[in-house]
Amino acid sequence: MIFSHKSVLLNESVDALDIKPNGVYVDCTAGGGGHSGEILKRIVDGKLVCIDKDEEALSVCKQRLKSDKVIFVHSDFKELDGILNDLSIDKVDGILADLGVSSYQIDNPERGFSYMANDAPLDMRMDCSQSLSAKEIVNTYDEYKLFTIIRDYGEESFAKKIAKEIIAARAKEPIETCGQLVDIIDKSIPRGAIKKGSHPAKKTFQALRIEVNKELDGLEEFLNSASDRLNVGGRLAVITFHSLEDRIVKHCFADFVTDCICPPNLPVCVCNHKAKGILVNRKPMIPSESERQMNPRSQSAKLRIFEKK
């Protein structure tokens, strides 16, 4: 399958980095090189570090961006501190993190991300070298753990019923394909509860994907590390695609630009917290109407930008 992915908020996010020709930049989720390629165009004698946990995507990125200005790293972007230390890089001028799953991952049935691919193996791993997959989760997690994952990560109202039906189904035979899981979910949700144009399995598949890839684990720590790695005037740009991750980014950025983060009921400040910088955009940037029409998967995207002072 040809690697195809439309980079969301491409120009907006790269513009947000305010790129200096001799600067050092990090694309934390390089994927097929969409954002990275645009960053590279604006670098003259600087450096670009491309990180991705999906080895297949990183391989495509290497083929597309053949330049001695680029360093490729197969790793989770949450290991940013260790990655930069290994590269003997202390500070950088800009960091971009596009937290969404790529179109290639969704559209490639072998990766098992899509509720539309009935015969696809239930997988959902961004990093295929890891052991935990969606198949293991639905076949080994107990009912309460399944319920909490689907409720908390999918914000699914019928999480309890879905978890119960998964347990009942797997007692008869292993749940191995996306289609099997979709059928179970479909039977668990009343017809009248499904919004027009929505798919009954969307929220549960999101929840499983987040659990498989530990998408929220360590995100706050990453944001703190990233902000500390910026040079003065450097920028951190983050694109989110669902409310759970956006909430974390929003709250972290709010702390970054606030001097005191003590509880409001305290009469004096005891935290000694100092603002690190400013918000470039008070409200998140969203895709234009034309981009949303051309790429429906961009609908929920939000771009937040922090600048170090």
Q: Please state, rounded to an integer, the average pLDDT across all residues of the chain.
A: 94
Residue 2 has pLDDT above 70, yes or no: no
Q: pLDDT-based confidence at 98, cuts 50/70/90? A: very high
Please tell me the predicted confidence (pLDDT) of residue 260.
87
Q: What is the C-alpha separation between 180 and 183, in angstroms, rounded?
A: 5
Please tell me the predicted confidence (pLDDT) of residue 226.
98
Residue 88 has pLDDT above 80, yes or no: yes
**% of the chain with per-residue pLDDT over 70:** 98
What is the tens place of the pLDDT at every residue in 246-256? 999 999 999 99
Three-state SS for 144? helix
Q: Yes or no: say if 237 and 94 are a contact pair by the CB < 8 Å rule.
A: yes
Please tell me the predicted confidence (pLDDT) of residue 1.
47
DSSP-derived letter for residue 126 is: S
Q: pLDDT-based confidence at 5, cuts 50/70/90? A: low
Please tell me the predicted confidence (pLDDT) of residue 107.
86
What is the tens place of the pLDDT at every residue in 65-83? 999 999 999 999 999 999 9
Report long-range pairs for 133-142 (Cβ below 8 Å, ≥24 apart). 133/212, 134/181, 134/208, 134/209, 134/212, 135/174, 135/175, 135/176, 137/208, 137/211, 137/212, 138/166, 138/170, 138/175, 138/181, 138/208, 139/170, 139/174, 139/175
Q: Yes or no: say if 261 and 271 are a contact pair by the CB < 8 Å rule.
A: yes
Q: pLDDT-based confidence at 239, cuts 50/70/90? A: very high
Pick 195 or 69 by higher pLDDT. Answer: 69
Residue 205 has pLDDT above 80, yes or no: yes
Q: pLDDT-based confidence at 4, cuts 50/70/90? A: low
What is the tens place of the pLDDT at every residue in 114-169? 999 889 999 999 999 999 999 999 999 999 999 999 999 999 999 999 999 999 99
Residue 202 has pLDDT above 60, yes or no: yes
For range 49-72, the mean pLDDT: 95
Mean pLDDT lowest among 15-29, 74-88, 266-280: 266-280
